C-alpha cells in the first residue's frame, strides 16, 4: 500500500493535468451526447404532431371558406349556442331534415374527440387567450406558448406532464385571423393577421421516454467505461514515464560523475571544431581560469602551430575531424599547448555523436607526459642493461681466455716436470 502511495506521489505533475483534462473531455462529450439524444429522441413524434396540425389547418380553412358547414343535428351534434346570433344557424331541408351550422372551431373540437378515441391516445385542443367558449380556455403551458405567439413565434414544443399525470410531447401551432374568419370574429375586434389562438396536439410518449432513458443509461455506462479505461491507460503511461524519467536521471547522474571526475579532458565540439563545453579536467589541463575561457578556443588553438613531426596542427586537426565525422576510428597522439604556452604530449580520441538530432564531436584528451617520462627512463635502463650485458659477456670471454692461458701454462709446466723425473 505504501509503495502504491509513494508511486502516486512520485508521478509527475503533468499526469494529473492530463487526467483532469480527460475528465473534462469525457464530461463534455457525455453532456453533448445526452443533449443530442434528448433533442432528437422526439423528432419523429414532433414531425407527426406538426403534420396533424397542418392538416387540421387545411380542413379549417375549407370550413371557414364556406362560412361554416351545415350538418344534420344528432344527439352528439347539437346546434352551437355561440352561433345563436346567426339568423340561419339551423335550417330545415325541403324534405324536413334539420341541419345546423358547424363553425371551424366546433369542427376542430369534434375532430379532437375522434382523435382521442383513436388508439394513439393523442389529444387536440383549440384555444385562445380570449376564449369565447369557457372550455376553450388555455392551460398553463398553452397560456405561456400563446404569449410567445403574440410576440411573433409561430410554433412551440416541449415534454410536459399533463393533468392525468402522464408524460406527453406537446406541439402547438398558431391560428392567425384570415379574411374568412372575420365573418364571425370581427365583432371581437380582431383584424387580419392577428393571433386568434392556437391548436395544441399532445402525444403520450411513455414508450419513447422509456427508450430514451435506456439509451441515456447506455450512453452513460459507455462513457464511464471509456473514462475509466482512459484513466488506466494514462495512469500506467504516467507510471512508466516517471520510471523512465528516474532511470534517465540516474544515467545522467552517473554520466555527470564520470564526466566531472574524469582525469582525461572531455570536451564537446561543434563539427567545425569550436569548443562548446569541457569538464573540470580540461580546464585544469589547459590552465584556463574557467569553462568560459575554455570555450573561447578551438581544437587547433589548443595545439602549438607546428607538431614535432613538422606538420601543421590545423591540417592534422582538420583531417582527424573529417575522419571522426565519417565514423572512422580516431585515436592519435599529438602535442597540445597550455594557455601559458608550455606544451605537453597527449593522446586524443575524437568521436562523432548525435545530441537532439544535432551532430557534435567529442574529444577525450589524455596528458601522457608521465607515460613519456616513464618510457624515457625505461629506455635509459634498457641501454644501461644492454651495456652491462655487453660488459658481462666481455668479462666472461676474458675469464675464459685467462682460464685457457692458465690451462696452457699448467700443461706446459707438467711437461717440464715429467722430463725431470724420467
70 to 99, contacts with ligand HEC by CB under 6 A? 80, 82-83
Contact pattern from residue 52 through residue 71 relative to ligand HEC, giving x for each residue in contact according to CB under 6 A and a dash for the rest: --------x---x--xx---
341: alpha, beta or left, given left = phi > 0 and alpha = psi -120 to 50? left
Nearest distance in Å: CB 130, ligand HEC: 7
Q: Establish if 237 lies at the interface with ligand HEC (CB under 6 A).
A: no
Pick from 148, 156, 106, 157: which is nearest to 129 by CA? 148
* Number of Cβ within a 10 Å radius of residue 263: 11
CB of 155 to ligand HEC, least distance (A): 15
Pick the closest to residue 335 from 312, 303, 361, 374 (CA basis). Answer: 303
Min CB(116)–ligand HEC separation in Å: 16
Q: Considering the rule CB under 6 A, would residue 124 count as an interface residue with ligand HEC?
A: no
Quickly tell me which residue has 352528439 as its cell: 76
User: Which one, 175 or 212, has the nearer CB to ligand HEC?
Assistant: 175
98's CB contacts (< 8 A; 6+ apart) are 72, 73, 90, 91, 92
d(CA 44, CA 64) in angstroms, rounded, equals 30
Position among 104, 173, 204, 278 found at the interface with ligand HEC (CB under 6 A):
104
Q: Report the residue from 103, 202, 279, 282 that binds ligand HEC according to the rule CB under 6 A.
A: 103
Q: 119 is written with which cell numbers?
A: 388508439
For residue 307, what are the CA distances in angstroms to 238, 298, 300, 369? 56, 16, 11, 15
Taking CB under 6 A as the binding criterion, the range among 3-11, 183-191, 217-225, 323-331 that sits at the site for ligand HEC is: 183-191
The Cα 92–Cα 94 span in angstroms is: 7
Among 41, 100, 128, 279, binds ligand HEC (CB under 6 A): 128
* Rounded least distance, CB 108 to ligand HEC, Å: 8
Report 194-233 residues binding ligand HEC (CB under 6 A): 196-197
Give least dist CB 48 to ligand HEC, A: 22
> Rg for the chain (alpha carbons), in Å?
57
Nearest by Cα to 363 from 269, 300, 283: 269
Cell digits of residue 192: 387580419
Among 89, 112, 125, 185, binds ligand HEC (CB under 6 A): 185
Q: Which stretch binds ligand HEC (CB under 6 A): 121-129, 212-220, 234-242, 355-363?
A: 121-129
Residues making contact with ligand HEC (CB under 6 A): 60, 64, 67-68, 80, 82-83, 103-106, 126-128, 131-133, 136, 175, 177-178, 180-181, 183-185, 196-197
Amino acid at each position: 500500500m505504501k509503495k502504491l502511495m509513494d508511486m502516486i506521489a512520485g508521478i509527475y505533475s503533468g499526469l494529473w493535468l492530463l487526467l483532469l483534462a480527460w475528465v473534462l473531455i469525457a464530461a463534455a462529450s457525455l453532456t453533448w451526447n445526452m443533449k443530442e439524444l434528448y433533442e432528437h429522441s422526439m423528432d419523429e413524434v414532433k414531425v407527426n404532431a406538426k403534420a396533424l396540425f397542418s392538416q387540421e389547418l387545411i380542413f379549417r380553412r375549407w370550413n371557414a371558406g364556406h362560412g361554416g358547414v351545415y350538418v344534420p343535428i344528432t344527439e352528439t351534434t347539437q346546434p352551437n349556442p355561440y352561433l345563436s346570433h346567426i339568423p340561419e344557424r339551423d335550417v330545415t331541408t325541403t324534405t324536413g331534415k334539420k341541419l345546423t351550422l358547424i363553425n371551424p372551431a366546433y369542427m376542430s373540437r369534434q375532430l379532437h374527440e375522434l382523435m382521442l378515441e383513436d388508439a394513439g391516445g393523442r389529444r387536440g385542443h383549440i384555444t385562445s387567450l380570449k376564449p369565447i367558449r369557457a372550455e376553450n380556455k388555455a392551460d398553463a403551458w398553452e397560456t405561456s406558448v400563446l404569449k410567445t405567439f403574440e410576440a411573433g413565434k409561430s410554433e412551440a414544443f416541449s415534454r410536459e406532464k399533463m393533468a392525468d399525470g402522464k408524460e406527453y410531447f406537446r406541439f402547438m401551432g398558431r391560428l392567425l385571423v384570415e379574411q374568412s374568419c372575420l365573418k364571425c370574429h370581427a365583432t371581437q375586434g380582431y383584424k387580419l393577421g392577428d393571433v386568434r389562438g392556437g391548436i395544441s396536439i399532445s402525444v403520450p410518449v411513455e414508450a419513447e421516454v422509456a427508450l430514451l432513458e435506456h439509451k441515456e443509461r447506455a450512453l452513460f455506462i459507455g462513457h464511464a467505461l471509456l473514462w475509466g479505461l482512459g484513466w488506466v491507460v494514462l495512469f500506467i503511461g504516467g507510471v512508466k514515464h516517471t520510471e523512465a524519467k528516474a532511470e534517465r536521471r540516474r544515467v545522467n547522474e552517473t554520466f555527470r560523475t564520470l564526466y566531472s571526475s574524469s582525469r582525461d579532458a572531455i570536451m564537446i565540439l561543434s563539427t567545425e571544431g569550436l569548443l562548446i563545453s569541457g569538464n573540470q579536467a580540461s580546464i585544469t589541463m589547459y590552465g584556463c581560469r574557467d569553462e568560459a575561457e575554455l570555450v573561447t578556443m578551438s581544437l587547433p588553438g589548443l595545439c602549438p602551430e607546428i607538431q614535432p613531426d613538422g606538420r601543421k596542427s590545423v591540417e592534422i586537426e582538420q583531417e582527424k575531424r573529417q575522419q571522426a565525422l565519417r565514423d572512422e576510428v580516431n585515436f592519435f597522439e599529438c602535442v597540445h599547448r597550455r594557455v601559458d604556452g608550455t606544451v605537453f604530449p597527449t593522446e586524443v580520441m575524437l568521436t562523432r555523436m548525435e545530441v537532439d538530432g544535432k551532430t557534435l564531436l567529442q574529444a577525450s584528451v589524455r596528458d601522457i607526459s608521465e607515460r613519456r617520462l616513464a618510457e624515457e627512463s625505461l629506455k635509459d635502463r634498457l641501454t644501461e642493461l644492454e651495456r652491462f650485458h655487453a660488459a658481462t659477456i666481455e668479462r666472461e670471454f676474458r675469464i675464459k681466455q685467462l682460464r685457457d692461458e692458465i690451462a696452457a701454462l699448467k700443461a706446459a709446466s707438467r711437461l717440464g716436470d715429467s722430463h725431470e723425473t724420467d
